[in-house]
Amino acid sequence: MKELKFLIAIWQTNLQSAMEYRAAFLTQVIGMIVNNFIYFAIWIIFFNKFKDVRGWGVNDMYVTFGVLASSFGLVSLLFGNTFTLSDIIAKGRLDYYLSLPRPVLLHTVASRTIASGMGDFLYGFISYCLSGYFTWDGLARFALAALLAATVFGAFLILTQSLAFWFGSMSNFSGLMLNAMLTFGIYPITLFDSYAKLILFTIIPAALMGAVPAEFIRAFTWEVLGQLLLGAIGFLALAIFVFHKGLRRYESGSAIQIEI
């Protein structure tokens, strides 16, 4: 409860800070929504010509792209530093968070808001509404699925970026993993054979960010909800474990850092 209050206080501060530059904030939010619409036009063109990919049609793409965008947006908005954690570790900028009496990982990742994330988050809901699958209970499932997908995504970012404790700056590798996660998450899962699917549920859990949440949104089953919950809890626990394991190896040059 105490940590939740702390988180809310950080998010409020981040929001106030982002709203200080209101025009830039709005440009980024609207720009990202427009950007996503334009990108999705490619899939409309594709499915207009080829109709479906092994049973996967444009309506499924709306849902998959929507939940992926919303979960990506949620992590960008609320835990913006998950994208740059390896740099923070490698450059000794964890010193600041270590010196304060709050959970280091939570404080670090929540200390930054990426304004464009709001655009992604909102676009996801618009995409779902346009999918043709819209129902009110479906909308509730969409919100839950986006939350669980965001947990998997955030945990995956923490995991890959925490490798910086062992290998130094991992910005290229983590960038590669981030792109792989988004790319594989967005394409129809019916494209992949069973070996590829195994990878998409484990090493690069893109299926837990795109196809599986989309399946849950289209129709409720306990089995799919169980997969999502298990994936979210499992990856989050692993990410926290790896981060703290790495933190024991952390050292810095006591550089003076100013956190803004």
Partner 1 sequence: MKTFSKYWSIFQITLINSLAYPGELAGRSLMIIPFMWIFYQLWKVTFNAAGVDAMNGLTLHDTLWYLMLAETIELGRPPIARTMSENVKDGSIAYILNKPYDFLLYQFSTAMGETIFRAMLNAIFGGLTVLWLVGTPEHPEGFLIALPAILGAWVLHFCINAMIGLSAFVVEDVSAFTWIYQKFSFIFGGMLIPLDFYPQWLQTFAKFLPFSSAIYGPARLFVTPTTEIFINVMTLQLGWIVVLTFLLTIAYRRGLTQLTVNGG
Judged by CB under 8 A, the stretch of 25-33, 69-77, 83-91, 222-230 that binds partner 1 is 25-33
Binding mask 154-173 for partner 1 (x = CB under 8 A): ------------------xx
**CA Rg, the chain, in Å?**
19
Q: Which is nearer to partner 1, 173 or 220 (CB)?
A: 173
For partner 1, the binding residue among 3, 12, 16, 31 (CB under 8 A) is 31
Q: Using CB under 8 A, which residues numbered 115 to 154 contact partner 1?
A: 116
- Cβ at position 162, least distance to partner 1 in Å: 18
User: Residues 27, 96, 130, 147: which binds partner 1 (CB under 8 A)?
Assistant: 27
Position 202 contacts partner 1 (CB under 8 A): no
Cα gap 102→206, rounded to integer Å: 31
Looking at residue 206, the DSSP 8-state letter turns out to be G
Question: Could you please report the per-residue DSSP string of 68-117?
Answer: HHHHHHHHHHH-GGGGSHHHHHHTTTHHHHHTSSS-HHHHHHHT---THH
- Binding span for partner 1 by CB under 8 A among 191-199, 209-217, 234-242, 251-259: 191-199
Given a contact cutoff of 8 angstroms between Cβ atoms, the answer to whether 64 and 214 are in contact is yes
Give ∠ CA 56-59-62 in degrees, rounded to 5. 110
CB burial string 15-24: b at 16+ within 10 A, e below: eeebeeeeee
Residue pair 57/89 in contact by the 8 Å Cβ criterion: no
Nearest Cα to Cα of residue 155 among 106, 120, 93: 106
Q: Which of 72, 128, 192, 216 binds partner 1 (CB under 8 A)?
A: 192
| From candidates 15, 53, 106, 143, binder to partner 1 by CB under 8 A | 53
Give the binding site for partner 1 (CB under 8 A): 24, 27-28, 30-32, 34-35, 38-39, 41-42, 45-46, 48-50, 52-54, 116, 172-173, 175-176, 179-180, 183-184, 187-188, 190-192, 196
